Structures are given as structure tokens and as C-alpha cells.
Amino acid sequence: MIRTVKAAVLAIAPLAISTSSSKRGLCYVPSSKYPQDDKIWTDTPGSDLSWYYNYQSEPSSSYKNSDMEFVPMLWGASDSDTGTPFLDSVKAQINGGANISYVLGFNEPDGTAATGGSAVPAELAASTWIAQIEPLKELGVKLGAPAVTGAPNGFTWLQDFFTACDGGCTPDFIPVHWYGNFEGMASHVGQVMGTYPNMTVWVTEWGFPNQKLEATQEYYNMSSEWFDRMENITHYSYFGAFRSDVSNVGPNSALLTQNGKLTDIGSWYLGGAAMHNVPKGDSVRMARFAGWSLVVLATGVYMVL
Ligand SMILES: *[C@@H]1O[C@H](CO)[C@@H](O)[C@H](O)[C@H]1NC(C)=O
Ligand SMILES: *[C@@H]1O[C@H](CO)[C@@H](O)[C@H](O)[C@H]1NC(C)=O
Ligand SMILES: *[C@@H]1O[C@H](CO)[C@@H](O)[C@H](O)[C@H]1NC(C)=O
Ligand SMILES: *[C@@H]1O[C@H](CO)[C@@H](O)[C@H](O)[C@H]1NC(C)=O
């Protein structure tokens, strides 16, 4: 494992930067204050983004007619759930002609509500998966395993989940979340690949929060380049599709400035050139968000570290 990870990191250095990629998607964070920002991801000429998710089972109204493929998510589960609303919704979308190739399992089920997790016990996640997600396999939909946090207990949670599934959960790919430096991420992804060699990897949230602008850009360059080159990382979506003054991962991580313009990272992410729009934070807000607290979304879904 360690050898694999080192080799993967060392392989970075000599290769040229590619700014365009078919693996990129939008991790959609709606802004109730600036709904016009939604269009940036689809209307910027040459945008690379080919898919999106919004932490929910139904597509977002802004993207109903877009070229981005929607990836439904079953965000969480509770003991009081009845019926199979997620399964029914995805089937109805497919029957209505939507191209649903993939779905995503639970969002940070090992994390508590205080950090944006869905806090689903592994046994409940397993029974919910078997009832609502596994049946999609026979419709040809590829299944994304629960997306645990990057913390060590994420691995424990997944192990408990597969034990509780008792062979009844067969995800095709495994989503990864990571907030931290590049070496830590490469090592973490290496550990995921080593633990679950039968699944491809999607990096569905990642970033290096609260760094200086140049360090953030360097990190973005290294990680996106690495994802592009790793054959078994098939999809990735950066956590930052919001304005810098409302960012809970530091202003320099955001893909938009406080004025709603693409930052350099934002433009690179879409396959374009540097814009030289420098992101700024909001000093009041930054103080309020200090300590890794949350962005509360208009939808009532909490975003996620
Ligand atoms: C559906 O999406 C998949 C994967 O994103 C793509 O390969 C396929 O061409 C799409 N099919 C249609 C009919 O658009
Ligand atoms: C991949 O491995 C996990 C655990 O080792 C297993 O439970 C799961 O069903 C496997 N997925 C497939 C598609 O075989
Ligand atoms: C990629 O994943 C497949 C199984 O999904 C595995 O057989 C193959 O060895 C992996 N390739 C690399 C380079 O890890
Ligand atoms: C990041 O990559 C872009 C090209 O995509 C390049 O212009 C820029 O200088 C790089 N920045 C850093 C800090 O590596």
C-alpha cells in the first residue's frame, strides 16, 4: 500500500498540465441570494463539466435542460422512513427519458449533523441500500458506495456497512471526500483503492481549505492533474462552486469571487484560462465561520466537511 502511494505521488512531477478533462462535474451548492450564478457552470463557453450532483434525488430546476448528466443521491436515512421514495424517483426519471447512469449513496454517514454528515448507522444504511439502491443495478445504473468522510472512522463505518449488507450491497464505484494537503489526499485515495480494489473511485468533494491563494492554486493544479492521469479515478467534483465571501473552506478555495466572477481556479476547472479575478472573503462572515462550521443552504441541506 505504502509503496503504491509513494509511486503515485512521485509520478506527478514530470508531466505536463492538462487543463481540460471529461471527468469533471459540478458539486452544486445553490445560492438563494444569487440564483444567476447557476448559469455560470453551463453557459461559460467550452465548459468542461459533464455531470453534476446536488445531494438530492431530483435534478435542480436550473439544469433540467442542460447537457450535464444528473447523478441522483440518497443523502441519508432515518428509522421513521417509509416506502422507497428514492428508488421510485430514480425509476420515474429513467422512465421519463433521463439518462441516469449513476447514483450516489449516503453523504458522510459517519459524520454528525454538526459537520454536515447524515449520521446513518451502518445497519440502517445497509437495509436502506438493499431496499432503495441495489434494485437499480438491474436497470443498468452504476452504484456509488456511501461517501464517508476522510477521517479514519470512515473506513470503520464502511467495513461495518459491508458486514451488515452481508453480500447484498454491490457498489461499482466508491466516492471519496478529502479536505487537506495533496500528499494526505494521495495517501488516502491509495488506501481506499487498496481496501476496495473492485471499485473505481470518484472524488466527489475535495479541497485544501484556508490556504494562501498560490498554495490553493498549486494544490488544485496538482490534484486535478493527478485525477486526470489516474485511470481508476473516473470522476471528480471540486468543493467550491460558490462565492468566496460565503465560502466555508476559505475564500481562496472558492470557484467564484465575491462578485460572482470565475476565479483562476474556477476558470481552469471549466477548461479555460486564468481570469486574474482575485477572491476576497467577508471579514464578518469569516469570523462567524471560523472553526469549520457550516454553510447552510437554501434547501436546508448542510454542506459538508
Ligand atoms: C448517458 O450517459 C452516459 C455516461 O455519462 C454516456 O456514456 C451515454 O452516452 C449517455 N447516453 C445518452 C443516450 O445520452
Ligand atoms: C466490492 O467489495 C466489497 C467489499 O469487499 C463487496 O461487499 C462488494 O459487494 C464488492 N462490489 C462488487 C461490485 O462486487
Ligand atoms: C483499476 O480497477 C480495476 C478494477 O476496477 C482493477 O482490476 C485494476 O487493477 C485497477 N487499475 C489500477 C491501475 O489500479
Ligand atoms: C496552475 O496551472 C496553470 C495552467 O493550468 C498555470 O498557469 C499556473 O501558473 C499554475 N499555478 C501554480 C501555482 O502552479
Q: Which tens digits make up the pLDDT trace of 190-246?
A: 999 999 999 999 999 999 999 999 999 999 999 999 999 999 999 999 999 999 999
Query: What does residue 232 show for φ and ψ, rounded to 5 degrees?
Result: -90, 0
Work out the number of other CB atoms within 10 angstroms of the CB of residue 112: 11
Q: Which ligand is nearest to the CA of 235?
A: 1
* Å from CA of 139 to ligand 4 middle: 42
pLDDT in tens, 161-194: 999 999 999 999 999 999 999 999 999 999 999 9
Rounded Cα–Cα distance for residues 39 and 62 (Å): 7
Q: Which ligand is nearest to the CA of 274?
A: 4
Is residue 125 pLDDT above 60, yes or no? Answer: yes
Q: Which ligand is nearest to the CA of 233?
A: 3
Average pLDDT over residues 64-79: 96
Contact 274, 264 (CB under 8 A): yes
Rounded Cα–Cα distance for residues 82 and 300 (Å): 21
Q: How confident is the model at residue 263 (pLDDT cuts 50, 70, 90)?
A: very high
* Å from CA of 278 to ligand 4 middle: 14
Strands 173-179 vs 200-207: parallel, antiparallel or unpaired: parallel
* Å from CA of 73 to ligand 1 middle: 18
Is residue 287 pLDDT above 50, yes or no? Answer: no
- Burial category of 84 from C-beta neighbours within 10 Å (exposed 0-12, middle 13-18, buried 19 and up): middle
* Å from CA of 22 to ligand 3 middle: 19
* Å from CA of 100 to ligand 1 middle: 8
Contact 44, 272 (CB under 8 A): yes
| Mutation probe of ligand 2 site: the residue of 170, 172, 232 with most atoms within 8 A of C-beta | 170
Residue 131, C-beta contacts closer than 8 angstroms, at least 6 positions apart: 84, 87
pLDDT of residue 285: 52
- The x, y and z cell numbers of residue 67, run together, are 447537457
* Å from CA of 202 to ligand 1 middle: 17
* Å from CA of 240 to ligand 3 middle: 29
Average pLDDT over residues 154-166: 98
Is residue 247 pLDDT above 60, yes or no? Answer: yes
Class level of CATH domain 2-304 = alpha beta
Protein residue with its CA nearest to atom 13 in ligand 4 = 218
| Mutation probe of ligand 1 site: the residue of 22, 50, 99 with most atoms within 8 A of C-beta | 99
Q: Which ligand is nearest to the CA of 194?
A: 3
pTM of the predicted protein model: 0.89
Mean pLDDT of the chain: 89
CB-ligand 2 contact for 170 (6 Å cutoff) = yes
Average pLDDT over residues 58-64: 96
| Mutation probe of ligand 3 site: the residue of 170, 195, 196, 232 with most atoms within 8 A of C-beta | 232
Q: How confident is the model at residue 115 (pLDDT cuts 50, 70, 90)?
A: confident
Q: How far apart are the first and last CA of the chain?
A: 26
CB-ligand 3 contact for 200 (6 Å cutoff) = yes
Q: Which helix (H) or strand (E) holds 26?
A: strand 25-27
Rounded Cα–Cα distance for residues 254 and 248 (Å): 9
CB-ligand 3 contact for 233 (6 Å cutoff) = no
pLDDT of residue 10: 41
Residues in the chain: 305
Contact 104, 72 (CB under 8 A): yes
Rounded Cα–Cα distance for residues 26 and 298 (Å): 18
- The x, y and z cell numbers of residue 88, run together, are 421510485
